[in-house]
A = this chain, B = another copy of it.
Amino acid sequence: MDLQAASLDQLRRWETELSADYQAIKAKGLKLDLTRGKPSVDQVKLSDALDGILKGNYVSDDGTDTRNYGGIDGLPGAKALGAELMGIPAVNVLVGGNSSLTLMHQAMSIAHFHGLAGADSAWAREGKVKCLCPVPGYDRHFSVCEHLGIEMITVPMLSTGPDMDKVEALLKADQSIKAMWCVPRFSNPTGVVYSDDTVQRIAALGKIAAANFRVFWDNAYAVHSLDDSAPQLASIFDACAAAGTEDSVLQFSSTSKITFAGAGVAFMGASEANLKGFKASLGFITIGPDKVNQLRHIKFFAAAGSLKAQMKKHAELLKPRFATVLKHLQDAFGDNDLGRWESAQGGYFVSFDTRPGLAKTVVKLAADAGVKLTPAGATYPYGKDPNDSNIRIAPSVPAVSEVEEAMKVFVVCVKLASVRQALEQ
């Protein structure tokens, strides 16, 4: 389908055919959903052994009675689990509750209002501050900034990660930039794994940015590869240690997409100074997280290699779904310019770009035909995609047959919208 070369007649014929296809699909009354980056029922079932795993013993190896108050830092075994996930020493781990989003909101909120290095370091003291947001990105990161009144500056995502030339230039020019969001492995939604060079350059930002600048390194998909050949992520922790910028990065991770999405354990990884500053405020907010659930997770992953084995089971469930998405995209758009996408090797999304100006139309067409997609624009701050072209496809929840069905609809919608646009031009 070469829209550029097609005659007006050809375009009209295509429009007629695709409209007919679309109406036929619509008549089916489908109800499919590709919106949510969450595990399927089969995936959460993999961890059903969690409840009851304690067999009446609520005391952890270090002697802590997990039923009672306290432990703002986390159980040693839970810190070790976070350390394994993030590839950092256990001493640099703080264990939270069931939500890494909450930890990130708390960290940004504390940095903003209270300061991670004493009251003088609070961003709010300096008036309006800004955050760098690689786009497309994760809507819930952007909404934290929005909630706290932090201005967002977008930076394009390249195949190596954020455009670091831009990032460095922006930071050099403006000390009111206090933060940067990163999903460094299988980025949400593009699936990009930051290159070694990008990781090095992010670790070096602490040398050019304001002293209270912090990278929010949300390693949500740290171990969530679809196969062993997926690219590894260089250690930002080691890179910061080498650059002497340990305080410039806060890491986050969780077991949300490893055990239970709503009842896992979240982690923060940071320098001892940052942890001290964070805990100084956290102590006003809670007496401590749920240690019983930490102990369940410790027992669940007690066997060496069990984390890796668990992720393999997830991959087996996710792979055919992703393969189905990619097959349909390749078949429909592999030989034309109607859309671009990356071949995700992990994470929860495939990021698709329509021709400029068509994302909203495609999402609406699909919705009217019974296929729910994440709202167009959701991957941009304030919900505004300047090109109106990015669509996030999340195939983890539906069955493979449903992904198949949904992608057929998606392809027709993209083609139809593209042809109609060409006809209008």
A: residues with CB less than 8 A from B are 36, 38-39, 41, 44, 47-48, 50-56, 58, 65-71, 97-99, 101-102, 105-106, 109, 113-114, 140, 143-144, 146-147, 256, 260-263, 281, 284-293, 296
Q: Which residue of B lies closest to A259 (CB)?
A: B67
Q: Which residue of B lies closest to A49 (CB)?
A: B56
Give A346 to B285 CA distance when docked, in angstroms: 26
Contact of A114 among B147, B260, B288 (CB under 8 A): B147
Given known pairs A144-B284, A284-B144, A296-B51, the reply for A41 and B69 (CB within 8 Å) is no
> Contact at A67–B263, with CB atoms within 8 Å?
yes
Given known pairs A71-B262, A262-B287, the reply for A51 and B52 (CB within 8 Å) is yes
Given known pairs A39-B68, A67-B44, A68-B39, the reply for A98 and B290 (CB within 8 Å) is yes
A-B contact pairs, 23 of them (CB 8 A): A41-B65, A50-B292, A51-B292, A52-B54, A52-B55, A52-B56, A66-B262, A67-B260, A68-B260, A70-B262, A71-B262, A97-B290, A99-B288, A101-B285, A101-B286, A102-B286, A140-B287, A144-B284, A147-B281, A260-B292, A262-B288, A262-B289, A263-B290
Given known pairs A41-B65, A51-B54, the reply for A262 and B284 (CB within 8 Å) is no
Nearest chain B CB to A374's CB is how many angstroms away?
14
Nearest chain B CB to A318's CB is how many angstroms away?
15
Nearest chain B CB to A397's CB is how many angstroms away?
9
* A101, A256, A288, A292: most-surrounded residue (chain B CB, <10 A): A292
Chain B residues, Cβ within 8 Å of A114: 147
Nearest chain B CB to A18's CB is how many angstroms away?
35
Nearest chain B CB to A276's CB is how many angstroms away?
16
Chain B residues, Cβ within 8 Å of A65: 41, 44
Chain B residues, Cβ within 8 Å of A143: 284
Give A47 to B54 CA distance when docked, in angstroms: 13
Give A350 to B65 CA distance when docked, in angstroms: 25
Nearest chain B CB to A375's CB is how many angstroms away?
15
Nearest chain B CB to A119's CB is how many angstroms away?
10
Give A260 to B66 CA distance when docked, in angstroms: 9
Given known pairs A262-B291, A292-B263, the reply for A286 and B99 (CB within 8 Å) is yes
Contact of A58 among B48, B71, B256 (CB under 8 A): B48
> Contact at B263–A293, with CB atoms within 8 Å?
yes
Give A234 to B27 CA distance when docked, in angstroms: 59
Given known pairs A48-B58, A51-B51, the reply for A261 and B69 (CB within 8 Å) is yes
